[in-house]
Every structure is written in C-alpha cells, then in structure tokens.
C-alpha cells in the first residue's frame, strides 16, 4: 500500500482520508492501493495523483554579526517595531513552549486577524500558547499511515517537540531577548531571534521517521488559512518536478496569498547540484559561518598542534598529561573500516580503555561516535574528516572530551600515529586543549562546507541558493526532553543548544523577512527576496572574496547565490525586482510544464500558456539574478537576452546608472544604461544581452563564469549576479 495525494475531492467518495486541503491546494490525501490509484486517475475530477514522499530536517551572536544592533535604538529593529504584528509559521518538529525565548512579556494582544488555534495533545495544553507563541498544531496522519501508530514513549502526539530542531529554528526566527544565555558556558551573551517581537505559530510535521508530504501540505494549508505572514521551512528531500513536490505546491499557494516562504537549501554540500527547495517562488537559503568559533586543539606527542572545534562542557583531560591515542581500536593501521568509524559495538574496550580514540566521520552521528568511545572506556575522541567533508568543521556538545579536525589535520595525526607506533620507545600520544569561545574570527563569513550548492537541478535558468545566512554554531532554545548531543543516553538538560545546518540559516531569513514586511507592508514575497538579494555581499570581514570552508578557495555564486544577507541594506534597496503569480505561471509554461502540471501547482482551473510567449524563455522570469545555460551544439557564437523590470522603492526623481561586470569571456550590454524615475512605485524596463563564443570542453563537461550588473543612484547599490554556463553535450 502506497498512499497518495490527489487533487479535487470527489462528491460522494469517502476513501480513508488522511487530510483534506482547501487553502493552498484543493484535494485530499488518502492511503490507496495501486489499483485504486489507476481507477481514480480515470475520473474526470481528478487532475493528478501524487505519491507520498518523506523529507527530513536539515540539521547568539548572529544578530550582532548581521548588524542588528539593539542598543543604538536605530536601525532595522526599531523601524519595524521588531515586527510585533507579524506572525511567523514554523513548519518543523514542534515546540517546547516553556523556553524563556518564547515568553510574552510586554507584547500586545494577539493580532485580531489571527485565526489559528493552540491544539492540545499529550503534555501540551491549549493554555501552552501565549501572546508570543500564538498558535500550535500537529499533523501526523500521513506519518502514521506509512509507519503505523507512533511510539508515545518517544514522541508526543501534540505540538510538543521531542527532537529539538523545531524549538531551535523557531527561536532563531523570533526568540525573545534572554540574558545570560550559553551552552555550558560557550557562546555566553544575550540570546535573541531575528525578529524578537514577531509572533510564532508552530506546525509540527516532522516525527521520528521524517516529515511526510501529505502532512507538510496540511501544515501549509493551515498556516495560510490561520493568517501567518512568513513560513519558515527547514525541511527538504530529493528534488522532483514542482507538480510532484508538496513543498513547491504548498509554497506556491502561500506566496500566491502574500505569504513569504523561506526554506533551507539542504546540507548536501560541498558537491554541485545538491541544492533543494529550488522553486523560484521560494527563497532558498544556504549557510555561512559567523565570526565566532570554539577552538579545541589536538596536541600530539611530537609537539605538533592540530586545530579543531568542540562544545564539550564537562571536566577536561588532566592538564599537561599526554594520553595514548589509538585508531581503529588498535595503534596500527589495518583494514578495520567499520571500527575506524566508531560504530556501536565496534570498539574493543581492552584496546581503548584510558585512551584517546581517533574516529573517522561518517555513517553514525558525530556525537554518537563519542558515546561509543565513552562506553568502551575511552577518555577522549578526535573526530577526523575524510576527503568528502574536507576542512568543514562542526562543533558538538560531546558526552566526553572530544574535538573535530579537518581532513588535512586528520591526515597529519594518522601519519604521526603510524610513524610513532613503529617505534617501540615512543608510542603515539595526544591530548585535547579546550580554548572556549573565540570571537572576531577572520575570515567570516565563510560558506559552510555542508551548505548545498547550485546549479539548480530542476530549473537551471534560476540561480539557487538565493542567499546565505548564519548557519554554523548557532545558539538557540532547546527542549528538556533531549540532551544537547541529541543521543538518547544523554540526559543533560539545557535551555540553549548550539547547532549547525542550513536549517539554522533559513529561520534567520524568515525573521528578517518579518522585519522587512513590518517596515514595508506593501512588499510582495518577491520584493522582500529581491531586497535581500540585491543588497547581499560577497566579501568577508577581511575585505576579500568570501571563501569556501571545504577547500579554503574562493567561493562562487553557485555556493552563495547573490551573497550573504545584509539586513540594514535590505531595508532600503532602492529598486526591487517584483514577480506576480502570473509571472510564475509564464515561467512554468516556458519550462515546458504541461497545462495539467501547471494547474496542479497553481490551482488555476484555466491555466493558459499563450501569455508566456511574451516572456519568451524561462530565464526571463523577473528574478534578481540572471542565469543562462548555453548548449554548445557545434556553435561558435552564442547569445541570450533577458528582459527585466525594476520598481523604484527609493526616492522620487532618482537616476540610476548601470555598471556591468561581464562574466569572463562574455560580452554583456544593458539598454538603456540609465533609468530615470520620477515617482516612487514607478516601473522601468531594461534589456540585457549576453554574447559569448564556444570554449573547448570535453563531452558532458561544463564551464561556469559569473559577473554582475549593478544599478546605482549614488545612494543605493542594486546588484544582480549574471551567470553564464557553457555545456558541451555528450
Ligand atoms: C517505544 O519506545 C521505547 C523506548 O525506546 C521502547 O522501549 C518500547 O519498546 C517502544 N514501544 C513500542 C511499542 O515499540
Ligand atoms: C583550489 O584552488 C587551487 C588553485 O586555483 C586549485 O589548484 C585547486 O584545485 C582548488 N581546490 C579545489 C578543491 O577546488
Ligand atoms: C521546451 O521545448 C522546446 C520545444 O521542444 C525546446 O526548444 C525548449 O528548449 C524547451 N525548453 C526547456 C526549458 O526545456
């Protein structure tokens, strides 16, 4: 039995319904046999039948790092009254409502237009909501239809969070000021979300076995009809065509109703084509570092020091003492693949007792490896990246003294161990020195190694991710139910935990979108995204091009999109690239989706692609970035054009002049080169032509070059990336 989402409810039919939908989608979900599906598909009222899919979550100094100063009384937070009339809906693992981050001190009454509810359930009363957390619901019918009844000793049949992810993301978007906040003394300071006065509504869709599309769609439906302004979704899965993708369908319905949707890009980096949640109406967020880290260095018996990071908070190793260090449960090499991963039961206590164990990253969770070492009697752990993770480091709240080192550091340690273990007189030794919290780290931001990258696998003519935001080592609220390492045996209780992922980057943008919407209530979702993109930056705090954590090399638009968000500048972008629902329909037409497929996404009964001819091609969607992919079928000269429309949201009587930075090997022209606006709200068009000559490439290979076009009036700078890819057909 597979179960399916279908469009349009049939009169007089009552299949085993999981959910019915009527806001962002018209239809129902039900558990059906294949025969039933085939029968349903022949019925005239059924437009489409979509198979169920499972998704997964993409697992505070960040406000200061983003320039959201609160002491000077000016700036974005002030101008938007902290977003107090806005509601952010967080579709995630639920919420732990008692956290201080969700207190409702000094907040006015719940906005009168709010239609949401505080659904009660296990360990969650309807009084668990307040003027901060104004709504909470849970959706598990799809989950239980696939997995059977949930185990109520490990999860709550209610909006309460038994995982931690949803509590963490909600407090990043809109947590109140809490002081002092820290995790075992790390990252001590004031904790605050991006929009500390915005209201929150939690929509729980993720359970122990994942987040099911039929439940996700039900959450979108409820959130939009409840009246949220922003939806934050740190969840994703494989990329499929939009008409088969509940997240793309639900978010189109939300954006069509004026709701901003931000979603995490995914943690599948650093490889290319890994970005998820790529629909052009979604704002797709990758992760960067902030200027804070948690150094914990490995000191080797030969005096060498390898730098690492850790959030270990218990008693340290004996100062000055060197410990024997072992790999694969032995001090030699050997072909013990599974033991070097420190999987459960793989370590021999006789070999590990009293020693530091070197474990390779992969398969089981980073913190779980520490638990395996601890149970086998080890005193410490060094977690070494392989080539796949490169130099990208993630700090964890380990259950024993432990640190994470990069691939090159790991190689250095292995080389030392292998040399030392050959000499009987000086067997390999090491210790870990925990250095606490370091701030003002340079360079920052750096694109996080795990952050998923372009090109966009579904719509190559739309650059994704759109932007990056802080997503490494983010301090935010955490439930009592889960220890900070996330492993079941960890019974420590903490108010705040530090996590990394594009899951953490996405709610930063959700909170910022609420602030921008509070300050500019008339802006559409596309306008908010445009403001974030055209003001984003690509240089770090050394004034150099942002680098990629995985290689240490300069990063590219495929890693960061338009760049890192700059909230203060996004407040006053000067010009915006706006997009209507009709423009998105033209985009779908030009992407060769059938009318039926388009109807599934847009719910418009009479989808019509005749207007799309005006737009010409999918790359003409009025997006704030410009992307073209040339197929070199033996051609020598290739060219493309883009039409764009900008709306003046700055000052009346302003004159913008263009600066063109063509991608290497291309020629780019813009007409006109000067835009003269008389009024605020006025729209003007311009035409961009890109010309290039073929380059020598192996069959199937491609070459990407990027540049930008910049409109400036002396006060505002409006930057759009221009991306040109040459592809040699196979
Ligand atoms: C539920 O989970 C608990 C804790 O993991 C376990 O002991 C119990 O056997 C599970 N119950 C069922 C019905 O699977
Ligand atoms: C980093 O840049 C160097 C110099 O351009 C290049 O040789 C190397 O291949 C790059 N490394 C990666 C992993 O891209
Ligand atoms: C759509 O189909 C037309 C005609 O087959 C083709 O020329 C065009 O390249 C296709 N566009 C996309 C985006 O696949």
pLDDT at residue 75 above 80?
no
**Does the pLDDT value for residue 188 go beyond 90?**
no
| Across 388-410, average pLDDT | 91
Q: Higher model confidence: residue 466 or residue 347?
A: 466
Separation CA 96–CA 161 (nearest Å): 6
Task: Report which ligand 1 atom has the smallest distance to the Cα of 152.
Answer: 1
Tens of pLDDT along 264-311?
999 999 999 999 999 999 999 999 999 999 999 999 999 999 999 999
Same-domain pairing of 682 and 722: yes
241: burial class by Cβ within 10 Å (0-12, 13-18, 19+)?
middle
Asked if residue 432 is part of any domain, the answer here is: no
Whether 260 is covered by a domain: the verdict is yes
Ligand 3 atom nearest to CA at 592: 1
Ligand nearest to the CA of 633: 3
- CA separation (Å) from 561 to 39, 88, 527, 540, 723? 44, 24, 17, 15, 10
Task: Give the CATH number for residue 320.
Answer: 3.50.30.30
Query: What CATH number did the domain enclosing 452 receive?
Result: 3.40.50.200
For the cut 90, the answer to whether the pLDDT of residue 44 exceeds it is no
For ligand 2, atom 5, the nearest C-alpha belongs to: 553
Quick one: 104 and 234 in the same domain? yes
Residue 191's pLDDT is what? 82
109 and 214 inside one domain? yes
Q: What is the pLDDT of residue 327?
A: 84
Residue 81 has pLDDT above 70, yes or no: no
Pocket of ligand 3 contains residue 620 by CB under 6 Å: no
Does residue 194 sit in the same domain as residue 115? yes
As a whole number, mean pLDDT of residues 230-239 equals: 94
- Nearest Cα residue to 86 out of 119, 137, 129, 132: 132
**Which of 573-577, 622-626, 631-635 has the weakest average pLDDT?**
631-635
CA proximity to 301, closest of 331, 271, 273: 331
d(CA 52, CA 595): 22
What is the predicted pLDDT for the residue at 181? 82
**59: confidence class by pLDDT, cuts 50, 70, 90:** low
Mutate to test the pocket of ligand 1, among 122, 144, 154 (most ligand atoms within 8 A of CB): 154
Residue 434: inside a domain, yes or no?
no
In whole numbers, what is the pLDDT of the chain averaged over residues?
90
Q: What is the pLDDT of residue 32?
A: 84
- Using CA atoms, how far residue 365 sits from 8, 369, 394, 699, in Å, is 42, 7, 12, 39
pLDDT of amino acid 100: 95
| Two structure tokens written together for 687 | 């035409």
Q: Is the pLDDT of residue 73 over 80?
A: no
User: Is the CB of 174 within 6 Å of ligand 3?
Assistant: no
Residues 560 and 667 in one domain: no
Distance in angstroms (rounded) separating the CA atoms of residues 368 and 552: 28
Q: What is the mean pLDDT of residues 394-405?
A: 93
Pick the last residue of a domain from 571, 604, 637.
Answer: 571
Residue nearest to atom 13 of ligand 3 (CA): 591
Above 80 in pLDDT, residue 637? yes
The answer, yes or no, to whether any atom of ligand 3 lies below 6 A from the CB of 459, is no
Please tell me which residue, 400 or 44, carries the higher pLDDT value: 400
Residue 325 lies in a domain: yes
What digits encode the pLDDT tens for the residues 692-715? 999 999 999 999 999 999 999 999
555-577: per-residue pLDDT in tens?
Answer: 999 999 999 999 999 999 999 99
Whether 63 has a pLDDT exceeding 60, the answer reads no
Lowest mean pLDDT among 126-130, 248-252, 273-277, 597-601: 597-601
**Ligand with the closest atom to the CA of 630:** 3
User: To test ligand 2's pocket by mutation, which of 388, 392, 545, 553 has the most ligand atoms within 8 angstroms of CB?
Assistant: 553
Note whether 43 and 61 are same-domain residues. no
Domain that holds residue 350: 296-425
Compute the average pLDDT of residues 587-600. 92
- In a domain? residue 77: no
Q: What are the residue numbers of the active site?
A: 92, 165, 503
141-145, 368-372, 605-609, 643-647 — which is least confidently predicted? 605-609
Residue 128 has pLDDT above 90, yes or no: yes
Band (pLDDT 50/70/90 cuts) for residue 103 is very high
Is the pLDDT at 405 greater than 60, yes or no? Answer: yes
- Do 89 and 127 sit in the same domain of this protein? yes
| Statement: residue 343 has pLDDT above 60 | yes
Q: What is the mean pLDDT of residues 184-201?
A: 89
Report which protein residue has its CA nearest ligand 3's atom 6.
592
Residue closest via CA to ligand 3's atom 8 equals: 592
How many angstroms does the Cα of residue 387 sit away from the middle of ligand 2?
Answer: 14
For ligand 3, whether the C-beta of 618 sits within 6 Å is yes
Query: Same domain for 619 and 552?
Result: no
| Interval 23-37: pLDDT, tens | 888 888 888 888 888
Residue 75 lies in a domain: no
Counting ligands in written order, the one closest to the CA of 162 is 1
CA 661 to ligand 2 center in whole angstroms: 24
Q: What is the mean pLDDT of residues 595-613?
A: 83
Pocket of ligand 3, candidates 592, 613, 615, 630: which has the most ligand atoms within 8 Å of its Cβ, to mutate? 592
Confidence band, pLDDT 50/70/90 cuts, at residue 616: confident
- 71 found inside a domain: no
Q: Is 392 helix (H, G, I), strand (E, B) or coil?
A: coil
For residue 70, the model assigns a pLDDT of 45
Chosen domain end from 503, 536, 571: 571
Pair 269, 368 in one domain: no
pLDDT at 278: 98
Closest ligand to C-alpha of residue 489 is 1
Q: Span 656-682, mean pLDDT?
A: 98
Q: Is the pLDDT of residue 465 over 60?
A: yes
256 and 301 share one domain = no
| 245-254, 291-300, 582-591, 613-622: least confident range | 613-622
Neighbouring residues of 79: CB distance < 8 A, sequence distance ≥ 6: 519, 571
Confidence of residue 7 (pLDDT cuts 50, 70, 90): very low
**Between these two residues, 190 and 4, which has the higher pLDDT value?**
190
pLDDT at 8: 41
Please compute the mean of the pLDDT values over residues 567-588 and round it to a whole number: 96
Residue nearest (by alpha carbon) to ligand 1 atom 1: 151
Pocket of ligand 1, beta carbon within 6 A: 151, 153-154
* Residue indicated by tokens 């925990």: 434
Instruction: Determine whether the shortest distance from the Cβ of 553 to ligand 2 is under 6 A.
Output: yes
| Angle between helix 595-602 and helix 581-590 axes, rounded to 10 deg | 150
What total number of domains does the chain contain? 4
Report the separation in Å between the CA atom of 45 and the middle of ligand 1, taken as the mean of its atom positions: 43
SS3 558: helix
pLDDT of residue 340: 83
Ligand 3 centroid from CA 617, angstroms: 9
The confidence score (pLDDT) of residue 137 equals 98
pLDDT at 318: 93
* % the chain with pLDDT above 70: 92
| Whether residue 496 has pLDDT greater than 50 | yes
Domain annotation covers residue 72: no
Q: Are 597 and 719 within one domain?
A: yes
**β-strand pairing of 438-439 with 292-293:** antiparallel
* End-of-domain residue from the set 571, 592, 626: 571
Cis peptide before 672 (omega within 30 of 0): yes
For residue 173, the model assigns a pLDDT of 97
Using CA positions, which residue lies closest to atom 1 of ligand 2? 553
Q: How remote is the CA of residue 554 from the centroid of ligand 2, in Å?
A: 9
Q: Could you tell me which residue, 277 or 75, shows the higher pLDDT?
A: 277
Please state, for a pLDDT cut of 90, what percent of the chain lies above it.
72
Q: Which ligand is nearest to the CA of 241?
A: 3
Residue 146 has pLDDT above 70, yes or no: yes
- For residues 484 and 590, state if they share a domain: no
CATH number of the CATH domain containing 658: 2.60.40.2310
551 lines ligand 2 (CB under 6 A): yes
Average pLDDT over residues 510-529: 96
CB 56 within 8 A of CB 210: yes
CA 206–ligand 1 middle distance (angstroms): 19
Whether 408 lines ligand 2, by a CB cut-off of 6 Å, is no
Three-state helix/strand/coil letters over 248-284: HHHHHHHHHCCCEEEEECCCCCCCCCCCCCCCCCCEE
């Amino acid at each position: 039995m597979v179960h399916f989402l279908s469009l349009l409810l049939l009169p007089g039919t009552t299949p085993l319904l999981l959910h019915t939908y009527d806001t962002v989608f018209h239809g129902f979900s039900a558990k059906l046999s294949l025969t039933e599906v085939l029968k349903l598909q022949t019925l005239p009222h059924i437009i489409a039948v979509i198979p169920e899919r499972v998704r997964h979550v993409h697992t505070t100094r960040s406000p200061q790092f983003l320039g959201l100063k609160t002491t000077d009384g000016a700036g974005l937070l002030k101008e938007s009254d902290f977003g107090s009339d806005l509601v952010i809906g967080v579709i995630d693992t639920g919420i732990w409502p008692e956290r201080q981050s969700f207190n409702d001190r000094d907040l006015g009454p719940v906005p009168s237009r709010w239609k949401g509810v505080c659904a009660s359930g296990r360990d969650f009363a309807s009084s668990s909501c307040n003027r901060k957390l104004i709504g909470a619901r849970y959706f598990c019918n799809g989950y239980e239809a696939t997995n059977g009844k949930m185990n109520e000793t490990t999860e709550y049949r209610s909006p309460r969070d038994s995982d931690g992810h949803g509590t963490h993301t909600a407090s990043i978007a809109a947590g109140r000021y809490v002081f002092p906040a820290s995790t075992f003394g790390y990252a001590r300071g004031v904790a605050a979300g991006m929009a500390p006065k915005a209201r929150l509504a939690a929509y729980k869709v993720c359970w122990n076995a994942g987040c099911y599309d039929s439940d996700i769609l039900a959450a979108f439906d409820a959130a939009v009809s409840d009246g949220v302004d922003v939806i934050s979704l740190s969840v994703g899965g494989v990329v499929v065509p939009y008409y088969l993708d509940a997240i793309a369908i639900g978010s189109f319905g939300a954006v069509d109703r004026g709701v901003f949707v931000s979603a995490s890009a995914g943690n599948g980096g650093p490889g290319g084509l890994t970005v998820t949640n790529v629909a052009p109406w979604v704002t797709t967020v990758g992760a960067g570092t902030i200027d804070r880290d948690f150094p914990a260095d490995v000191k080797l018996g030969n005096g060498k020091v390898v730098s690492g990071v850790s959030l270990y908070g218990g008693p340290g190793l004996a100062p000055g003492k060197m410990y024997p260090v072992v790999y694969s449960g032995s001090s030699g090499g050997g072909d013990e693949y599974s033991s070097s991963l420190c999987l459960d039961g793989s370590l021999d206590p006789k070999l590990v007792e009293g020693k530091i164990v070197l474990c390779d990253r992969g398969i089981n969770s980073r913190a779980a490896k520490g638990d395996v070492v601890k149970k086998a009697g080890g005193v410490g752990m060094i977690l070494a990246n392989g080539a796949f993770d490169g130099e990208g480091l993630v700090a964890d709240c380990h259950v024993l003294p432990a640190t994470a080192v990069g691939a090159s550091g790991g190689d250095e340690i292995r080389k030392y161990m292998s040399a030392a273990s050959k000499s009987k007189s000086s067997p390999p030794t090491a210790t870990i020195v925990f250095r606490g919290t370091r701030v003002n780290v340079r360079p920052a931001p750096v694109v996080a190694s795990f952050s998923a990258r372009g090109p966009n696998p579904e719509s190559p003519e739309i650059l994704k991710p759109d932007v990056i935001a802080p997503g490494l080592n983010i301090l935010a609220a955490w439930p009592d139910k889960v220890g900070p390492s996330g492993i079941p045996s960890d019974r420590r209780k903490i108010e705040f935990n530090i996590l990394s992922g594009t899951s953490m980057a996405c709610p930063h943008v959700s909170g910022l979108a609420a602030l921008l919407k509070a300050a500019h209530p008339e802006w559409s979702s596309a306008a908010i995204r445009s403001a974030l993109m055209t003001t984003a930056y690509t240089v770090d705090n050394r004034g150099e091009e942002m680098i990629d954590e995985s290689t240490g090399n300069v990063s590219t638009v495929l890693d960061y999109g338009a760049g890192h968000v700059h909230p203060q500048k996004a407040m006053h972008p000067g010009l915006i690239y706006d997009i209507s629902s009709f423009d998105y329909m033209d985009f779908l037409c030009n992407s060769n989706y059938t009318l039926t497929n388009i109807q599934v996404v847009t719910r418009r009964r009479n989808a019509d692609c005749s207007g799309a001819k005006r737009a010409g091609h999918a790359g003409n969607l009025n997006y704030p970035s410009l992307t073209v992919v040339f197929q070199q079928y033996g051609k020598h000269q290739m060219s493309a054009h883009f039409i764009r429309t900008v709306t003046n949201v700055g000052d009346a009587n302003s004159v913008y002049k263009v600066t063109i930075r063509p991608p290497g090997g291309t020629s780019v022209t813009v007409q006109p080169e000067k835009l003269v606006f008389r009024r605020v709200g006025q729209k003007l068009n311009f035409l961009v032509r890109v010309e290039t000559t073929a380059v020598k490439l192996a069959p199937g290979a491609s070459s990407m070059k990027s540049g930008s076009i910049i409109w400036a009036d002396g006060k505002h700078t409006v930057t759009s990336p221009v991306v040109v890819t040459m592809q040699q057909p196979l």
